[in-house]
Amino acid sequence: MPHGREGQRPGATGVVAAGLVIGALLSVIPVSKPVAGDPASDHDREYAVKAAYLVNLPQFIDWPSTEPPDPVFDVWVIGDDPFGPLLDRAFSGKKVMGRSFSIHRSPDVASIGEGDDVDIVFLAARDKESAAAWTEELGPGPILVTSETPGHAALNGIVGFYISGNNVRFEINRKNADARGLRISSQLLDLARIVGEGT
């Protein structure tokens, strides 16, 4: 079974001003402008924005520490990858909190290696039931579970991307994050639609 890294939680981490600016800007980036006869261009814009979210979300989260400190965030796309090279391009050369990123892809959770580390996942599931089942297969631990499947974040996901008007926005299930030992900053919560709390 894949697993998140366990560790002792450090003291509360600050969020740098640059990160706040990035997060605020990302919350209102337009998905696309009308491009007649060019749906591929719209698709690329949408997933470039979602990839940018995935790059920046970790800096708004208080992650459990490990000894020795782990130098890499392992990012997995599960299912039919909608990003293509856009994801690799977004993460290329990036570091957050001194950690670089390693990108992996798998058709399903069962195909992830027994000893593989998983820190961030994007579940490209066909429906919320499939996404919820994959999330259960991931097991417990500090894994940031994201998807674009409607209703998944309200079940057992953490971050759900959705389209509002012409923008990519996101919802967060804070209870599910807490259950996995991930503390999400209030600054990020202020930018999100909160789900899973009876609101």
Q: What is the CATH number of the domain that holds 112?
A: 3.40.50.2300
112 domain-assigned: yes
The pLDDT of residue 68 is 79
Count up the domains in the chain and report the number.
1
Could you tell me the residue range of the domain that residue 171 belongs to? 17-194
71 domain-assigned: yes
Q: Which phi and psi angles does 59 have, rounded to 5°?
A: -75, -10
187 domain-assigned: yes
89 domain-assigned: yes
The pLDDT of residue 109 is 97
Question: Mind listing the pLDDT tens digit for each residue in 15-71?
Answer: 344 444 455 445 444 554 444 455 568 889 999 999 999 999 999 999 988 777 789
Question: Mind listing the pLDDT tens digit for each residue in 55-114?
Answer: 999 999 999 887 777 899 999 999 999 999 999 999 999 998 899 999 999 999 999 998
**What integer is the mean pLDDT of 174-182?**
97
The pLDDT of residue 142 is 96
7 domain-assigned: no
pTM: 0.83
Binning the chain into helix, strand and coil, the percentages to the nearest 5 are 35, 25, 40
11 domain-assigned: no
4 domain-assigned: no
For residue 124, list its beta bridge partners: 79
96 domain-assigned: yes
The pLDDT of residue 38 is 58
The pLDDT of residue 5 is 59
DSSP-derived secondary structure for 95-146: -BTTBEEEEEEESSGGGS-TT-B-SEEEEE-SSHHHHHHHHHHH-SSS-EEE
Question: Mind listing the pLDDT tens digit for each residue in 113-153?
Answer: 988 999 999 999 989 999 999 999 999 999 999 999 999 99
The pLDDT of residue 197 is 81
**What integer is the mean pLDDT of 162-180?**
94
**What integer is the mean pLDDT of 164-185?**
94
Which sign, positive or negative, has the C-alpha torsion 127, 110, 155, 161?
negative
The pLDDT of residue 117 is 94
The pLDDT of residue 155 is 96
Which carries the bigger pLDDT value, residue 159 or residue 4?
Answer: 159
The pLDDT of residue 11 is 37
